[in-house]
Structure formats: C-alpha cells, structure tokens
Amino acid sequence: MNEVCQIIPHRPPFLFVDEIIEITEEKAVAKRRVRAEEPHFEGHYPGNPIMPGVLLCEAVFQTGAIYLVEKLGRNGDLQQGATPILSRIKEAKFKNMVKPGEILTIEASFKETLGKFHFLRGTVRRNDGKLALTIDFALALIQEQ
C-alpha cells in the first residue's frame, strides 16, 4: 500500500487499491482484498454483505489514476501537484457480485487523450476469474489551486 500512497493522493478509508501488479505503456493492473470489517458492509447489506458497485468503480478510477501518474511521469508530461479528477463515467456494467474475502484484479487500460482528458477502460475480476465490472471513464489531471 505504501507504493500506492506514493503515487496517488487517496488514503484509507477511501483507498481501494492494495497493491500494484504491473504498469505498462497500455495499462495498469492492481489487486484489492475485500475485507469483511470494511465499514460499508455494516449497511450494505447486514447478513448478506455485497461490495457496493460505486466502490468497485472507485477502485478502477484509482487504478487509472496510478496509470496516468506513472505514464505521464515517465514521459515527463506530469506537472508537479497535478491531481487526477474523474470527469466522465460511461457504460458501467455490473456482471457479478463481490463479497468479503474476494481478491480483486483491477485493470485500467488507456484508450486515448483529448486535450487534458484521458479516456480509459476498466475491469474488475474476482479471484474466480469472473468479471464483476466493466466501465469506460475519463480522468483529467488538474493543478492544485
């Protein structure tokens, strides 16, 4: 988790990436263990805990932010103090539920850049290999003010 915290500004309890598996020119792959003691399971749903879909999306967005910061940093295109901000969500499809104890593989793949907007496609797979989420999204890197 230390490596993740060195790259993006997110921190617990709103950090949904535990480990970076790989970063290539085209994508980033990360892992996340879903823990039963996470506070959202107290109300979503008592007796039948299911990982909220919005938090699966956030894991993909954070993986995309890791990808962008690393890619642009390597290319020398990253401005100091830039923060990855979500600017578009498109085509989120939830395929299978995620329960506590699952180990998720999260992938964010680069599609294109238009101006300051970086378009990516994300997936979340459960440890049984089943797809839990597919989503297209865009991030912008915004300078702190």
pTM here is 0.94
- From the list 10, 8, 56, the residue with the least C-alpha distance to 32 is 56
Active-site residue numbers? 44
Q: Which domains does the chain have, with CATH numbers?
A: 2-143 (3.10.129.10)
Q: Give the torsion sign (CA, 42, 1, 137, 100).
A: negative
Q: How many angstroms separate the CA atoms of 78 and 139, rounded? A: 14
Q: What digits encode the pLDDT tens for the residues 109-141?
A: 999 999 989 999 999 999 999 999 999 999 998
- Name the one residue in this structure whose structure tokens are 């060195």: 6
Q: What digits encode the pLDDT tens for the residues 44-64?
A: 999 999 999 999 999 999 999
Q: What digits encode the pLDDT tens for the residues 62-109?
A: 999 999 999 887 766 666 667 889 999 999 999 999 999 999 999 999
